[in-house]
Amino acid sequence: MVHGTARVMLLQCVPGHGWHEAGAVDHCQEPAGPPGPLVFMPNLVPPKIPDGERLDFDDIHRKRMEKDLNELQALIEAHFESRKKEEEELMSLKDRIEKRRAERAEQQRIRSEREKERQARMAEERARKEEEEARKKAEEEARKKKALSNMLHFGGYMQKSEKKGGKKQTEREKKKKILSERRKPLNIDHLNEDKLRDKAKELWQSIRDLEAEKFDLQEKFKRQKYEINVLRNRVSDHQKV
């Protein structure tokens, strides 16, 4: 309260000037009531106002308000500009996140497609191997059946040969002796599964060897028969001449 009163008194007591609205005064009036405590007032230099001019407080207040309004407007604009930049950065970050998410999804899709293709190739390879094994097994079974059939035919041929006498009987006995020497007792009662498999492989190899030997003998017989026919034809032609 003391400071307000002192300031009003200072404004009213400008040396050499006075208020035109209130009338000119040349001295300061003391405030009513008991005197207050002494207040230290700095030695302020009042602004110089040219003679004849009025101090327009409304204009000062208006300019002050305009200045404050401009500062406030600048702060608001700076705030919205900062907010706009933050929103733009946020949108850019969201775009990068979405782009990265899409890239990861695409990479995952490519990996899944490659894995499906790999699984399909593996399945095709397994099917091909199984088919190849089945084909080989069927061919092996066919060869075994053919070998057994040839052996049966050979046995029938031997039975027919037994009916012949003389020199043929002697040849039959020789063949029978050779076969008896080649045939050995199996003795497989004491063998386990693995040894039985080995024995079966050994017998199968023996059958293949016999088939090869039989084929060679048949080819040799064909060649000899052909040579005999050629010689007979030559002798016949020579006799005609």
Query: Residue 58: what pLDDT?
Result: 80
Q: Rounded mean pLDDT of 69-73?
A: 90
Distance of CA 100 to the CA centre of its chain: 16
Of 133 and 51, the structure prediction assigns the larger pLDDT to 133
- HEC per residue, 14-64: CCCCCECCCECCCCCCCCCCCCCCCCCCCCCCCCCCCCCCCCCHHHHHHHH
Looking at residue 30, its pLDDT comes to 47
Mean of pLDDT over the chain: 74
C-alpha to C-alpha distances, 18 to 3, 26, 51, 56, nearest whole angstrom: 21, 8, 11, 14
Residue 2 · residue 39 · CB < 8 Å: yes
Instruction: In whole angstroms, give the CA distance from residue 90 to residue 87.
Output: 5
Residue 60 — very low, low, confident or very high, per pLDDT cuts 50/70/90?
confident
Q: What is the structure's pLDDT at 185?
A: 66
3-state secondary structure of 83: helix
Position 4 confidence tier, pLDDT thresholds 50, 70, 90 = very low
Amino acid at 213: E
Tokens linked to 197: 């498999």
Q: What is the pLDDT of residue 146?
A: 78
In this predicted structure, the answer to whether residue 50 has a pLDDT above a threshold of 70 is: no
- Output the pTM of the full model: 0.30
**Lowest-confidence range among 81-95, 117-131, 135-149?**
135-149
Expressed in percent and rounded to 5, the helix, strand and coil fractions of the chain are 75, 0, 25
Per-residue pLDDT averaged across 70-74, rounded? 91
Which residues neighbour 184 within 8 Å (Cβ) at sequence distance 6 or greater? Answer: none
Cα separations in angstroms, 41 against 13, 28, 209: 14, 16, 137
C-alpha pair distances (Å), 42 with each of 1, 5, 10, 46: 17, 15, 11, 12
Query: For 147-163, how does the pLDDT look when each residue is reduced to its tens digit (9 = 90+)?
Result: 766 666 655 555 565 55
Is pLDDT of 238 > 80?
no
